[in-house]
Amino acid sequence: MTALFSRDLTPASAGPAPLDHSVPPLARERARASIPCWQGYASTPLIALPGLADRLGLGSIWTKYEAGRFGLGSFKALGGAFAVADALDGLSPEQIGQATVVTASDGNHGLSVAWGARRQGCRCKIYLHQHVSEDRAALIRAQGAEVVRIAGTYDDSTHQAREDARANGWVLLADTAIAPDDMAPGVVMAGYTVMIDEIVAELAESGIMPTHVLVQGGCGGLAAAAFGALFEAWGSAPRFVMVEPEKADCLYQSARAGHPVRIDGDLDTIMSGLSVGEVSLTAWQTIERIVGDFLIIPDGAAIAMMAALGKGDFGDAPLVAGDSGVAGLAGLAEAARDPAIRASLGLDERSVVLTIVTEGAVDVTGYRALTGLDVQQITGAGA
């Protein structure tokens, strides 16, 4: 099922900018200053998809393509690794070597934290729930981290990691805040804003102003960082649209309720990185202020978009997009093809749409199973 919930927003009043409610300004400045200095840093490409835009009857579609970020395959490389470096800043080499960082993850955030721990030289434990693929777990272990498997959902692993960190004196670097005093998610989100700075600079250079921005949900961390930073840059000119799986729609349901709610059940969506039932309280403080549209889509929409992009069905160059990475584009296609939702969102032949492909085929086995495509053949063709 595809469905849209829209709500009226009160314009941001005097006081801190919306993003400042979620991301500590000093952490953001530290991220801006440090991440571009990391070895291997490069701005990821902003790709035009004219074939897809023509197929959907839109003016243009642009997507920030994160598959090459630091060789880790997703935008998450910016957040977790920065949080590790920030948490250990000022410690002696001996203290760093004795420290243990810990987090729960659907895969990509844990990989980023593990990579960051390896860079810094500290110990690392990553809590993965039972539905995270072994391919993703193996990538994390390859960074030298210990993987701790937890029965249940992502939210169960988040709570267990939090309890174990407190009991053992470990440094918790969660990307979702389940309590008001959870500070690490804001630091993780600070890393994501470096990607948004790149987008703003790239679009400004091209003289492009989006009319719509679609970003995938999950716990809300990326969406809050992206929408908040873009609101700072562009105000309310674009329409901000949240996209979630119908099977894990905690932000959609929270918007309907007017406050954060937790979704129960197995959250069994193929969009694995968005399989979250509990809103990050840190992220919600920004989302509730500036996001007016919440879209939910079926798994089939994501699978179809993954396959179509990989085969170049729209006439654009083939593009490898992972199950969660494709959500914004899949949501856009669903919205543009539904007459009522299209009209409600004001999508037409003049629309300039920005999306983020947040990951490539990090889980190669899963990508092949969903699409029937070979990643190496696509990338060999120039994707």
3-state class percentages of the chain: helix first, strand second, coil last, to nearest 5: 50, 15, 35
76 given a catalytic annotation: yes
Q: Nearest 5°: CA angle at 154, between 220 and 361?
A: 75
Q: Which is the catalytic residue, given 64, 76, 125, 247?
A: 76
Structure-block tokens of residue 111: 């990989």
Residue type, 234: W
β-pair partners for 124:
101
208-229 b/e (C-beta count within 10 Å ≥ 16 → b): eebbbbbbbbbbbbbbbbbbbb
Q: Is the dihedral of CA 259, 26, 34, 234 positive or negative?
A: positive
**Using an 8 Å Cβ cutoff, are 365 and 139 in contact?**
no
For residues 193 and 221, what is the distance between their CA atoms, to the nearest angstrom? 11
**Using an 8 Å Cβ cutoff, are 240 and 227 in contact?**
yes
Nearest to 127 by CA among 117, 144, 109, 143: 109
Other CB atoms within 10 A of residue 197 CB: 17
Q: Would you give the DSSP letter of residue 11? A: P
Q: Which is the catalytic residue, given 106, 175, 249, 363?
A: 106
**Using an 8 Å Cβ cutoff, are 350 and 357 in contact?**
no
Q: Would you give the DSSP letter of residue 75? A: G
**Using an 8 Å Cβ cutoff, are 5 and 241 in contact?**
no
Catalytic residues, by residue number, are: 76, 106
